[in-house]
A and B are shown apart, each in its own frame.
Chain A
Amino acid sequence: MKARVHVTLKSGVLDPQGTAIQGALAHLGFEGVQGVRQGKLIELDLAESDPVRGRAVVEEMCRRLLANTVIENYAIEVVP
Protein backbone atom coordinates (compact mmCIF):
# COMPACT_ATOMS: atom_id res chain seq x y z
CA MET A 1 0.00 0.00 0.00
CA LYS A 2 0.96 3.61 -0.43
CA ALA A 3 0.56 6.42 2.03
CA ARG A 4 0.78 10.14 1.48
CA VAL A 5 1.76 12.45 4.28
CA HIS A 6 0.93 16.13 3.98
CA VAL A 7 3.05 18.30 6.25
CA THR A 8 1.91 21.88 6.74
CA LEU A 9 2.91 24.70 9.03
CA LYS A 10 0.59 25.22 11.98
CA SER A 11 -1.66 28.23 11.77
CA GLY A 12 -0.02 31.04 13.70
CA VAL A 13 3.44 30.01 12.52
CA LEU A 14 4.75 32.56 10.03
CA ASP A 15 5.40 31.10 6.58
CA PRO A 16 7.84 33.43 4.82
CA GLN A 17 7.98 31.14 1.78
CA GLY A 18 4.19 31.24 1.44
CA THR A 19 4.29 35.02 1.74
CA ALA A 20 6.96 35.22 -0.97
CA ILE A 21 4.88 32.98 -3.28
CA GLN A 22 1.84 35.16 -2.66
CA GLY A 23 3.89 38.22 -3.60
CA ALA A 24 5.16 36.54 -6.77
CA LEU A 25 1.64 35.53 -7.80
CA ALA A 26 0.46 39.10 -7.34
CA HIS A 27 3.43 40.26 -9.39
CA LEU A 28 2.34 37.91 -12.21
CA GLY A 29 -1.09 39.49 -12.19
CA PHE A 30 -3.03 36.80 -10.30
CA GLU A 31 -5.47 38.83 -8.27
CA GLY A 32 -7.40 37.89 -5.19
CA VAL A 33 -4.95 35.40 -3.68
CA GLN A 34 -5.73 35.98 -0.03
CA GLY A 35 -3.17 33.65 1.47
CA VAL A 36 -0.54 31.06 0.54
CA ARG A 37 0.82 28.37 2.85
CA GLN A 38 3.55 26.08 1.60
CA GLY A 39 3.94 22.51 2.83
CA LYS A 40 5.44 19.17 1.90
CA LEU A 41 4.05 16.00 0.39
CA ILE A 42 5.82 12.77 1.31
CA GLU A 43 4.82 9.58 -0.52
CA LEU A 44 5.58 6.26 1.14
CA ASP A 45 5.51 2.84 -0.47
CA LEU A 46 4.85 0.31 2.30
CA ALA A 47 5.07 -3.47 2.43
CA GLU A 48 2.16 -3.42 4.90
CA SER A 49 -1.20 -4.23 3.27
CA ASP A 50 -3.50 -3.64 6.24
CA PRO A 51 -4.62 0.00 6.11
CA VAL A 52 -5.20 0.25 9.88
CA ARG A 53 -1.76 -1.07 10.79
CA GLY A 54 -0.22 0.94 7.94
CA ARG A 55 -1.75 4.16 9.19
CA ALA A 56 -0.54 3.48 12.73
CA VAL A 57 3.03 2.99 11.53
CA VAL A 58 2.95 6.15 9.41
CA GLU A 59 1.52 8.04 12.38
CA GLU A 60 4.56 6.99 14.39
CA MET A 61 6.87 8.00 11.51
CA CYS A 62 5.27 11.45 11.48
CA ARG A 63 5.69 11.94 15.21
CA ARG A 64 9.30 10.81 15.23
CA LEU A 65 10.70 12.20 11.99
CA LEU A 66 8.49 13.33 9.14
CA ALA A 67 6.97 16.32 10.92
CA ASN A 68 8.26 18.63 13.62
CA THR A 69 5.14 18.98 15.72
CA VAL A 70 6.45 22.17 17.34
CA ILE A 71 5.73 24.00 14.09
CA GLU A 72 4.02 21.54 11.76
CA ASN A 73 0.78 19.59 11.42
CA TYR A 74 0.53 16.40 9.42
CA ALA A 75 -2.28 14.58 7.66
CA ILE A 76 -2.04 10.97 6.52
CA GLU A 77 -3.79 9.65 3.45
CA VAL A 78 -3.73 5.88 3.00
CA VAL A 79 -4.00 4.62 -0.58
CA PRO A 80 -4.88 0.89 -0.57
Chain B
Amino acid sequence: MRSAVIVFPASNCDRDAETALRDITGRAPHMVWHAEGTFPEVDLIVLPGGFSYGDYLRAGAMAAHSPVMREVVARAGRGVPVLGICNGFQILCESGLLPGALMRNASLKFLGRDVHVRVETSQSLFTSRYAVGAVARMPIAHGDGNYFADDATLDRLEERGQIAFRYCLPDGTVGGAGNPNGARRDIAGIFNETKTVLGLMPHPERAADPLLGGTDGRAMFEGLAEALS
Protein backbone atom coordinates (compact mmCIF):
# COMPACT_ATOMS: atom_id res chain seq x y z
CA MET B 1 0.00 0.00 0.00
CA ARG B 2 1.33 3.40 -1.01
CA SER B 3 0.47 6.18 1.38
CA ALA B 4 1.08 9.87 1.99
CA VAL B 5 1.12 11.84 5.23
CA ILE B 6 0.36 15.53 4.77
CA VAL B 7 2.55 17.71 6.99
CA PHE B 8 1.24 21.14 8.01
CA PRO B 9 3.09 23.76 10.04
CA ALA B 10 2.59 22.54 13.65
CA SER B 11 1.49 19.03 12.76
CA ASN B 12 2.90 16.96 15.61
CA CYS B 13 1.72 13.40 14.97
CA ASP B 14 3.03 13.16 11.41
CA ARG B 15 6.01 11.10 12.54
CA ASP B 16 3.81 8.80 14.60
CA ALA B 17 1.66 8.21 11.52
CA GLU B 18 4.78 7.66 9.41
CA THR B 19 6.12 5.08 11.89
CA ALA B 20 2.83 3.19 12.14
CA LEU B 21 2.39 3.10 8.35
CA ARG B 22 5.97 2.00 7.73
CA ASP B 23 5.92 -0.70 10.39
CA ILE B 24 2.52 -2.12 9.51
CA THR B 25 2.45 -1.77 5.72
CA GLY B 26 6.19 -2.35 5.21
CA ARG B 27 6.39 0.74 3.06
CA ALA B 28 7.37 4.24 4.14
CA PRO B 29 4.76 6.88 3.33
CA HIS B 30 5.49 10.00 1.29
CA MET B 31 5.75 12.93 3.66
CA VAL B 32 4.06 15.80 1.80
CA TRP B 33 4.55 19.42 2.88
CA HIS B 34 1.35 21.50 2.93
CA ALA B 35 2.63 23.98 0.34
CA GLU B 36 2.94 21.26 -2.33
CA GLY B 37 0.37 21.54 -5.07
CA THR B 38 0.57 17.86 -5.89
CA PHE B 39 2.20 14.61 -4.76
CA PRO B 40 2.64 11.04 -6.07
CA GLU B 41 -0.36 8.79 -6.62
CA VAL B 42 -1.09 6.90 -3.40
CA ASP B 43 -3.67 4.45 -2.05
CA LEU B 44 -4.21 6.29 1.23
CA ILE B 45 -3.84 9.90 2.38
CA VAL B 46 -3.39 10.63 6.09
CA LEU B 47 -4.02 14.02 7.68
CA PRO B 48 -2.18 13.76 11.00
CA GLY B 49 -2.78 15.22 14.42
CA GLY B 50 -1.31 18.46 15.66
CA PHE B 51 -2.15 22.12 15.86
CA SER B 52 -1.82 23.21 12.25
CA TYR B 53 -1.36 26.98 11.90
CA GLY B 54 -1.58 27.28 15.68
CA ASP B 55 -5.33 26.55 15.55
CA TYR B 56 -5.76 30.20 14.48
CA LEU B 57 -9.33 31.27 13.71
CA ARG B 58 -10.68 27.72 14.29
CA ALA B 59 -8.89 24.39 14.62
CA GLY B 60 -8.22 23.16 11.08
CA ALA B 61 -9.64 26.26 9.37
CA MET B 62 -6.38 27.48 7.86
CA ALA B 63 -5.10 24.05 6.89
CA ALA B 64 -8.37 23.31 5.10
CA HIS B 65 -7.47 26.03 2.59
CA SER B 66 -3.75 25.29 2.20
CA PRO B 67 -2.54 24.44 -1.33
CA VAL B 68 -2.21 20.71 -0.78
CA MET B 69 -5.81 20.42 0.45
CA ARG B 70 -7.21 21.29 -2.98
CA GLU B 71 -5.45 18.18 -4.24
CA VAL B 72 -6.60 16.10 -1.25
CA VAL B 73 -10.22 17.18 -1.79
CA ALA B 74 -9.96 16.39 -5.52
CA ARG B 75 -8.52 12.93 -4.85
CA ALA B 76 -11.10 12.21 -2.13
CA GLY B 77 -13.70 13.06 -4.76
CA ARG B 78 -12.20 10.36 -6.99
CA GLY B 79 -12.47 7.87 -4.15
CA VAL B 80 -8.93 7.88 -2.78
CA PRO B 81 -9.27 6.94 0.91
CA VAL B 82 -8.45 9.71 3.40
CA LEU B 83 -7.86 9.21 7.14
CA GLY B 84 -7.95 12.31 9.35
CA ILE B 85 -6.79 11.90 12.93
CA CYS B 86 -7.52 14.54 15.58
CA ASN B 87 -6.44 17.79 13.87
CA GLY B 88 -6.88 15.84 10.64
CA PHE B 89 -10.54 15.26 11.57
CA GLN B 90 -10.94 18.99 12.23
CA ILE B 91 -9.41 19.75 8.83
CA LEU B 92 -11.76 17.27 7.10
CA CYS B 93 -14.78 19.00 8.66
CA GLU B 94 -13.48 22.47 7.81
CA SER B 95 -12.80 21.44 4.22
CA GLY B 96 -16.29 20.02 3.80
CA LEU B 97 -15.18 16.41 3.25
CA LEU B 98 -17.04 15.46 6.43
CA PRO B 99 -20.18 17.06 7.90
CA GLY B 100 -20.30 18.87 11.22
CA ALA B 101 -17.69 20.70 13.26
CA LEU B 102 -15.40 20.12 16.22
CA MET B 103 -15.92 22.57 19.03
CA ARG B 104 -14.15 23.38 22.29
CA ASN B 105 -14.31 20.50 24.79
CA ALA B 106 -17.30 20.94 27.08
CA SER B 107 -14.92 21.02 30.07
CA LEU B 108 -12.82 23.75 28.33
CA LYS B 109 -9.80 21.62 29.26
CA PHE B 110 -7.21 20.10 26.98
CA LEU B 111 -7.46 16.33 27.40
CA GLY B 112 -4.45 14.06 27.02
CA ARG B 113 -5.28 10.54 28.14
CA ASP B 114 -6.55 7.18 26.94
CA VAL B 115 -10.22 6.75 26.09
CA HIS B 116 -12.32 3.78 25.01
CA VAL B 117 -14.33 3.74 21.82
CA ARG B 118 -16.89 1.24 20.56
CA VAL B 119 -16.58 0.14 16.95
CA GLU B 120 -19.94 0.88 15.30
CA THR B 121 -19.37 -0.92 12.01
CA SER B 122 -16.85 -3.28 10.46
CA GLN B 123 -18.18 -2.49 6.98
CA SER B 124 -15.43 -0.11 5.93
CA LEU B 125 -11.85 -0.05 4.72
CA PHE B 126 -10.82 1.39 8.06
CA THR B 127 -12.67 -0.93 10.44
CA SER B 128 -12.76 -4.26 8.61
CA ARG B 129 -10.35 -5.82 11.10
CA TYR B 130 -12.52 -4.84 14.07
CA ALA B 131 -15.65 -6.65 15.23
CA VAL B 132 -18.82 -4.59 15.58
CA GLY B 133 -19.18 -3.65 19.24
CA ALA B 134 -15.51 -4.24 19.98
CA VAL B 135 -13.96 -1.79 22.43
CA ALA B 136 -10.65 -0.18 21.50
CA ARG B 137 -8.44 1.86 23.83
CA MET B 138 -6.59 4.76 22.21
CA PRO B 139 -5.17 8.07 23.41
CA ILE B 140 -6.78 11.45 22.84
CA ALA B 141 -4.90 14.75 22.93
CA HIS B 142 -7.16 17.64 22.06
CA GLY B 143 -8.83 20.82 23.22
CA ASP B 144 -11.41 20.91 20.43
CA GLY B 145 -12.90 17.46 20.05
CA ASN B 146 -16.51 18.15 20.88
CA TYR B 147 -18.28 16.93 17.74
CA PHE B 148 -21.28 19.00 16.73
CA ALA B 149 -23.81 18.64 13.95
CA ASP B 150 -27.50 19.50 13.85
CA ASP B 151 -30.10 16.83 14.63
CA ALA B 152 -30.99 16.23 10.97
CA THR B 153 -27.34 15.63 10.10
CA LEU B 154 -26.84 13.32 13.09
CA ASP B 155 -29.96 11.32 12.17
CA ARG B 156 -28.69 10.99 8.61
CA LEU B 157 -25.25 9.83 9.81
CA GLU B 158 -26.91 7.17 11.95
CA GLU B 159 -29.32 6.02 9.24
CA ARG B 160 -26.53 5.61 6.71
CA GLY B 161 -24.13 3.87 9.07
CA GLN B 162 -21.62 6.71 8.89
CA ILE B 163 -20.72 6.64 12.58
CA ALA B 164 -17.45 4.75 12.94
CA PHE B 165 -16.65 5.03 16.65
CA ARG B 166 -18.48 6.15 19.79
CA TYR B 167 -16.92 7.00 23.13
CA CYS B 168 -17.67 4.38 25.74
CA LEU B 169 -16.65 2.98 29.11
CA PRO B 170 -14.14 0.10 29.19
CA ASP B 171 -17.08 -2.37 29.29
CA GLY B 172 -18.51 -0.96 26.06
CA THR B 173 -21.31 1.11 27.60
CA VAL B 174 -21.60 4.12 25.30
CA GLY B 175 -21.58 7.67 26.64
CA GLY B 176 -21.87 8.98 30.17
CA ALA B 177 -18.49 9.19 31.84
CA GLY B 178 -17.01 7.53 28.76
CA ASN B 179 -17.61 10.70 26.69
CA PRO B 180 -14.59 12.93 27.42
CA ASN B 181 -15.49 16.09 25.53
CA GLY B 182 -19.26 16.47 25.21
CA ALA B 183 -19.45 15.22 21.62
CA ARG B 184 -23.03 14.92 20.44
CA ARG B 185 -24.34 11.35 20.50
CA ASP B 186 -20.91 10.31 21.85
CA ILE B 187 -19.38 10.50 18.38
CA ALA B 188 -15.63 9.88 18.25
CA GLY B 189 -15.33 9.27 14.50
CA ILE B 190 -17.43 9.46 11.32
CA PHE B 191 -17.26 8.45 7.67
CA ASN B 192 -18.31 10.34 4.59
CA GLU B 193 -21.22 8.88 2.58
CA THR B 194 -19.02 6.49 0.62
CA LYS B 195 -17.03 5.49 3.73
CA THR B 196 -13.79 6.31 1.95
CA VAL B 197 -13.08 9.23 4.28
CA LEU B 198 -12.77 8.69 8.05
CA GLY B 199 -12.19 11.36 10.65
CA LEU B 200 -11.68 10.52 14.33
CA MET B 201 -10.41 12.28 17.43
CA PRO B 202 -8.60 9.34 19.11
CA HIS B 203 -5.15 8.42 17.83
CA PRO B 204 -4.89 4.88 16.38
CA GLU B 205 -1.31 5.61 15.22
CA ARG B 206 -0.32 6.24 18.83
CA ALA B 207 -1.76 2.88 19.89
CA ALA B 208 0.02 0.75 17.31
CA ASP B 209 3.08 -0.48 19.20
CA PRO B 210 3.36 -2.21 22.59
CA LEU B 211 6.05 0.29 23.55
CA LEU B 212 3.43 3.04 23.36
CA GLY B 213 1.21 1.28 25.87
CA GLY B 214 -1.40 -0.14 23.54
CA THR B 215 -1.96 -1.80 20.20
CA ASP B 216 -5.70 -1.38 19.66
CA GLY B 217 -5.05 1.02 16.78
CA ARG B 218 -3.04 -1.46 14.74
CA ALA B 219 -6.09 -3.16 13.30
CA MET B 220 -7.04 0.01 11.43
CA PHE B 221 -3.73 0.11 9.56
CA GLU B 222 -3.70 -3.67 9.07
CA GLY B 223 -7.18 -3.52 7.54
CA LEU B 224 -6.18 -0.65 5.26
CA ALA B 225 -3.01 -2.44 4.17
CA GLU B 226 -5.00 -5.59 3.41
CA ALA B 227 -7.69 -3.76 1.44
CA LEU B 228 -5.44 -1.36 -0.45
CA SER B 229 -2.39 -3.47 -1.30
Contact = CB atoms under 8 A, between A and B. Distances in A.
* Chain B, interface residues (CB within 8 Å), range: 20 to 34
Interface string A57-72: 0000000111010110
Interface in A36-72: 64-66, 68, 70-71
B148 A70 contact: yes
Given A13-B148, A16-B105, A68 B61 contact: yes
Interface in B175-199: 182
Main secondary structure, interface of A, reads helix
* Chain A, interface residues (CB within 8 Å), range: 10 to 19
Contacts, number: 35
Interface in B130-156: 146, 148-150
Nearest to B109: A16
B108 A20 contact: yes
Interface of B: 57-58, 61, 65, 93-94, 99-101, 103-108, 146, 148-150, 182
Nearest to A10: B150
Nearest to A70: B101
Nearest to B99: A70
Contacts of B94: 68
A17 B104 contact: yes
